[in-house]
């Protein structure tokens, strides 16, 4: 059996009834010794030893039925990221306020226009006929994010008293930022959030240049530059789950006569 065949044999989809409710799950077998459960945005996954009988997997699930159902219910109640089709006149959040997109085709161009009397910014985006509007918008936002983040990192480095580190972007699934000896990386989608929440993440990562841990001294340092650390953490957890994802609009079907 080839490598793809082995991989397919070790991964499979199943369904079980827990307390009368049908629940689908993804089963993955590996050289582990114990059974384990994971629930995330992809649903329920079960990790099992290679030789564990399927009856043992289902018995394990039934032994944890209430936990599984409670977690799945909580997951379903979470705000979900809105999938926004990138079309002309789209409104999307930019630093906590609406930004209107003017989209056209032609020679590639990105032009940001400052907020108007209604506090709405505008992005004039021109894509070539071969470019994906969603990818063009994403790249424009990433460039805007990097420029803004570099300024905020420099500001907080000055306030905390550390050298200004290099800044890069990330799109990690579960982390808003990271700090290492090479510098600080921040998730580009933070640019959708209000400046105070961006500052909280920036200050958090810059503080790691002093304390590479989450000790009381670390949090005390963050609190010196962020007035409401607890409130910022809670709002980031709530609002961060619902940030938009951009997709291309479906092209209209071509008409034809045979």
* Distance separating alpha carbons of residues 236 and 219, to the nearest angstrom: 16
Contact 116, 122 (CB under 8 A): yes
To 5 degrees, how large is the angle CA 51–CA 57–CA 60? 130
Report the pLDDT value the prediction gives residue 172, as an integer from 0 to 100.
84
Model pLDDT, residue 85:
92
Low pLDDT (below 70) residues in the chain:
1-9, 41, 78-81, 115-119, 250-258
Please say whether the beta carbons of 119 and 165 come within 8 A: no
Would you list the domain boundaries of the chain? 3-77, 83-245
The structural architecture, per CATH, of the domain 83-245 is 2-Layer Sandwich (3.30)
Q: Tell me, what's the pLDDT at 6?
A: 39
* Res 80: pLDDT: 61
pLDDT of residue 3: 43
How confident is the model at residue 79, as a pLDDT? 63
Place of tokens 């705000």: 79
pLDDT for the residue numbered 118: 57
């Amino acid at each position: 059996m080839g490598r793809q065949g082995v991989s397919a044999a070790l991964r499979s989809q199943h369904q079980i009834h827990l307390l009368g409710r049908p629940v689908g799950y993804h089963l993955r077998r590996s050289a582990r010794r114990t059974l384990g459960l994971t629930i995330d945005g992809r649903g329920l996954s079960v990790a099992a030893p290679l030789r564990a009988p399927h009856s043992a997997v289902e018995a394990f699930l039934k032994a944890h039925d209430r936990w599984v159902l409670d977690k799945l219910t909580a997951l379903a109640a979470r705000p979900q990221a809105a999938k926004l089709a990138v079309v002309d006149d789209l409104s999307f959040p930019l630093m906590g306020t609406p930004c209107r997109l003017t989209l056209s085709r032609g020679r590639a161009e990105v032009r940001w226009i400052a907020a108007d009397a209604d506090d709405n910014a505008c992005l004039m985006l021109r894509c070539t006929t071969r470019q994906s509007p969603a990818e063009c918008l994403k790249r424009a936002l990433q460039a805007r994010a990097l420029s803004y983040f570099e300024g905020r990192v420099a500001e907080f480095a000055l306030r905390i008293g550390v050298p200004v580190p290099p800044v890069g972007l990330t799109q990690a699934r579960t982390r808003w930022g990271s700090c290492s000896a090479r510098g600080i990386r921040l998730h580009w989608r933070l640019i959708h959030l209000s400046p105070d929440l961006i500052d909280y993440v920036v200050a958090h990562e810059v503080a790691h240049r002093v304390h590479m841990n989450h000790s009381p001294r670390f949090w005390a340092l963050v609190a010196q530059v962020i007035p409401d650390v607890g409130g910022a953490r809670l709002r980031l957890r709530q609002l961060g789950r619902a940030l938009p994802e951009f997709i291309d609009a479906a092209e209209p079907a071509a008409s034809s006569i045979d």
